[in-house]
Structure 1
């Protein structure tokens, strides 16, 4: 393993994070929060200094195998979280270190799970940092690194991109990954800015608009109010719901549209399934809510509520406008299913990903077809292209590991003594980077009541889920540290 190159990459992570902290310093100056902004200045400068020491001497070898890329990405996210929690902890905004770490891991992994019970009393600079962590973590810190740091070489860049990209495979059709990474962040930033403008047009103040846009773009869900989006108008809620859905779309589709490859963009099977699932879940829940007399039986109101929450959990954003614990059991069941399926590959959303869900279903269909017609040649296809055996195998293994983590961590979390739905949904919500679950951790609840051990388990789930399991699990394998 090329440890010197990994340290070099981690140095850049510290520099970027330290520089980003100064945005919170500016917010602190604007709101005259002199007692709090100093923590961002001091900690940020220390991080930049340490980062400069790590990158001032370039590594002799730029050779990076896939396991090196996985390790560099995993350690980048751990370092990002450990350093990012320091202003919250040292300032006593969140007095306990594990709580501050939990909140920060939740922010950077765009999970949106919180231990805070009184959000509105926090300093604005701290609230800004909390929301900005979603924006920085949404597209990925390594993707940002590839856009700005000196070239590592094509193979090295691909291995870093593969380690952080979401979904069963990475599109290698872009020859200049540095330009590709910059293009991804350009689209990401452009959509965020557009949402912010629409929110301002709806009467939201600038601070609320920018923090809400950060949370939506990263599909994270941290808001600056205890009631999330409930206090805002239907127009603002609809804008946020639409953008939650847009950020759950595969960004390769946006690149294809910008490149005028419209046929390629609009025949993307995963996106159509994603839209179809969103509409199906929305209508089914709206009918269920209306049949149970929720929202005074007004179907349009039920439709609005169901669309907002389905786009919220399917994109893994986790914002809310109502207490979902009051919904009928059928609706809550559909919410948990949508949480697990998640958004599209190549998006900022979490979950299993729609592409994996489709490949798994097609794989099951293939097996039944072979049982009924053993001599039939049947292949699994996505977007009219054959899905290779390697991809199918990878998806199946991913699902097995995913279920193993769900089972093991649910057992560990059950040691708290909470009801099964709280334990099970909290595991799904953290592993799928959604945030809210059911009962105690529902849309109006939080994770404050869990033990220190449970919060560390949740941190593991959030990091593993954001990094698509393999990169984060790899660093725990002794064989990964042996020389190639």
Structure 2
């Protein structure tokens, strides 16, 4: 393990992160909300800490190995979650405990969107901006951005990219050079954010809300600048725009890249994961809309818009709200929450287990049924026309097994702290799927649950964001053996 190289990179990344507090300072100056000093002090502290870590190892040069990449990724996300809490903790205007500050920071950076704050409308503009910005940087991953810079520092980036990028297939690069891949991802990410913000603005949001909500939408985050989330605007056009961009952001960004390069939407239509995902969302949306209209919960028009919005918001693990879906009739709250376990496509900013894995498990199950009928026949699991190796299927089954086992263990911990079953189940599900809103006592915010539960959920949010194995591998003796 190259500990000096790891320390050097962590120092650089932390200094880069400290500079992201500059926009919050600018927002504070523009709106004169009196928050310049807290953000300035936090930025100085984080930059000094990064400099302190980097300086002793500044001249060390070494190529990273795969294990180094995993360790850097985990350490940086933990360090970032704690460091990102500084503007909250040292801000007298919001008076947050250390636990709450870390929870809010980790929730933002992992694009979970679970919050401990209330009266968000009354918060200083710079604090509201900072929450939205945390999600935007966490959405694509600051480390993916950094791999475009690391080669200039004499460090290879592919190990970081593999450890950071979500999804079951992590070795496919969009371009021959990893630096160019990182740039391509960020160009797409930035372009979608700008277009989304402009659309929100022309639909009726002010500049501050349009930019803030575009950050959360493209990052699949769910934080809002208002307590009522998207429902604050009560605008069907805004809701439709949000639906479109939530769906677009939950699609594999590689598809966006190739569709743009070839100027054709056929790229999407040929992708097995996309087709399965679209059919799943369509089926759940039709069921939800039918139940809402049949039970007279809403009129036909509102039933269609609200039903479609909440299905896309929860299924993509964004977590925006236009209605209190936790109190919708019949099976709808449970149905929507279960769909969040599927999540978005691999290679997107969405959370959950990823559509690709669920699709492969479905195809594997169908193959086993055929084998029962025809024991001697040979059936191959295919994605489109391409066969999938048994090694990948084994990895998918292993991931889902560890994912669900982690879910059960964390749920038991929350139950042991005194939370009821519905609250514990939904809180852990919302954390590990990076969803945000839960059911029961965490339907609106997480401020009232105990500290042990909050730290457990912080671990769950990191576990989900880093695709489980990236984090858990550090707890295995084999990882530390030479």
Instruction: Name the TM tier (shorter chain).
Output: over 0.9
CA deviations over 1:299-325 (Å, ceiling 9, x no partner)? 231111111111111111100011112
> What CA distance in whole angstroms lies between the structure 2 residues aligned with 1:98 and 1:480?
30
Cα distance, 1:462–1:18 mapped onto 2, change above 3 Å: same
Aligned pairs for 1:77-116 within 5 A? 77-92=77-92, 93-116=94-117
Matched residue pairs, number? Answer: 477
Superposed displacement of residue 46, structure 1: 3.0
Q: Which residue of 2 aligns with 1:135?
A: 136
Moved more, 237-246 or 340-349: 237-246
> What CA distance in whole angstroms lies between the structure 2 residues aligned with 1:477 and 1:285?
43
In the alignment, structure 1 segments of 5+ residues that lack a partner are none
Q: Which residue of 1 aligns with 2:255?
A: 253
- Partner of 2:338, secondary structure, is helix
Q: Which residue of 1 aligns with 2:39?
A: 40
Aligned pairs for 1:244-323 within 5 A? 244-260=246-262, 262=264, 263-295=266-298, 298-323=299-324
Query: Are 1:416 and 1:450, in contact at CA under 8 Å, matched by a contact in 2?
Result: no
> What CA distance in whole angstroms lies between the structure 2 residues aligned with 1:338 and 1:66?
33
Superposed displacement of residue 49, structure 1: 3.3
> What CA distance in whole angstroms lies between the structure 2 residues aligned with 1:478 and 1:130?
37
> What CA distance in whole angstroms lies between the structure 2 residues aligned with 1:41 and 1:478?
41
- Partner of 2:213, secondary structure, is helix
Provide the TM-score with structure 1 as the length reference. Answer: 0.95
Q: Which residue of 2 aligns with 1:392?
A: 393
Q: Does 1:437 align with 2:432?
A: no
> What CA distance in whole angstroms lies between the structure 2 residues aligned with 1:24 and 1:173?
33
Q: Which residue of 1 aligns with 2:3?
A: 3
Q: Which residue of 2 aligns with 1:68?
A: 68
Which structure carries more relative contact order (alpha carbon 8 Å, separation 6+)? 1
In the alignment, structure 2 segments of 5+ residues that lack a partner are none
- Partner of 1:410, secondary structure, is helix
> Which of 231, 241, 244 is equivalent to 1:242?
244
Cα distance, 1:315–1:153 mapped onto 2, change above 3 Å: farther
Aligned pairs for 1:28-427 within 5 A? 28-34=28-34, 36-56=35-55, 57-58=57-58, 60-92=60-92, 93-151=94-152, 156-170=156-170, 171-172=172-173, 174-232=175-233, 233-260=235-262, 262=264, 263-295=266-298, 298-427=299-428
Superposed displacement of residue 152, structure 1: 7.0
Query: Are 1:288 and 1:330, in contact at CA under 8 Å, matched by a contact in 2?
Result: no
Provide the TM-score with structure 2 as the length reference. Answer: 0.95
Superposed displacement of residue 359, structure 1: 0.5
> What CA distance in whole angstroms lies between the structure 1 residues aligned with 2:306 and 2:420?
26
Query: Are 1:135 and 1:218, in contact at CA under 8 Å, matched by a contact in 2?
Result: yes
> What CA distance in whole angstroms lies between the structure 1 residues aligned with 2:188 and 2:380?
35
Query: Are 2:18 and 2:44, in contact at CA under 8 Å, matched by a contact in 1?
Result: yes
Superposed displacement of residue 67, structure 1: 2.0
> What CA distance in whole angstroms lies between the structure 2 residues aligned with 1:79 and 1:64?
20
CA deviations over 1:187-215 (Å, ceiling 9, x no partner)? 00100100100111012111111111111
Q: Which residue of 1 aligns with 2:24?
A: 24
Q: Which residue of 1 aligns with 2:475?
A: 476
Superposed displacement of residue 61, structure 1: 4.7
Superposed displacement of residue 94, structure 1: 3.9
- Partner of 1:294, secondary structure, is coil
Superposed displacement of residue 367, structure 1: 1.8
> What CA distance in whole angstroms lies between the structure 1 residues aligned with 2:59 and 2:320?
43
- Partner of 1:120, secondary structure, is helix
CA deviations over 1:37-69 (Å, ceiling 9, x no partner)? 212212212322332444454464523222221
Q: Which residue of 2 aligns with 1:467?
A: 466
Query: Are 2:230 and 2:321, in contact at CA under 8 Å, matched by a contact in 1?
Result: yes
Superposed displacement of residue 370, structure 1: 2.1
Query: Are 1:215 and 1:221, in contact at CA under 8 Å, matched by a contact in 2?
Result: yes
Superposed displacement of residue 12, structure 1: 2.0
Moved more, 163-172 or 253-262: 253-262
Query: Are 2:174 and 2:181, in contact at CA under 8 Å, matched by a contact in 1?
Result: no
Query: Are 1:422 and 1:439, in contact at CA under 8 Å, matched by a contact in 2?
Result: yes
Query: Are 2:150 and 2:157, in contact at CA under 8 Å, matched by a contact in 1?
Result: no
Alpha-carbon RMSD: 1.7
Query: Are 1:287 and 1:299, in contact at CA under 8 Å, matched by a contact in 2?
Result: no
Query: Are 2:268 and 2:274, in contact at CA under 8 Å, matched by a contact in 1?
Result: no
> What CA distance in whole angstroms lies between the structure 2 residues aligned with 1:352 and 1:414?
23
Cα distance, 1:12–1:153 mapped onto 2, change above 3 Å: closer
Query: Are 1:13 and 1:80, in contact at CA under 8 Å, matched by a contact in 2?
Result: no
Superposed displacement of residue 264, structure 1: 4.1
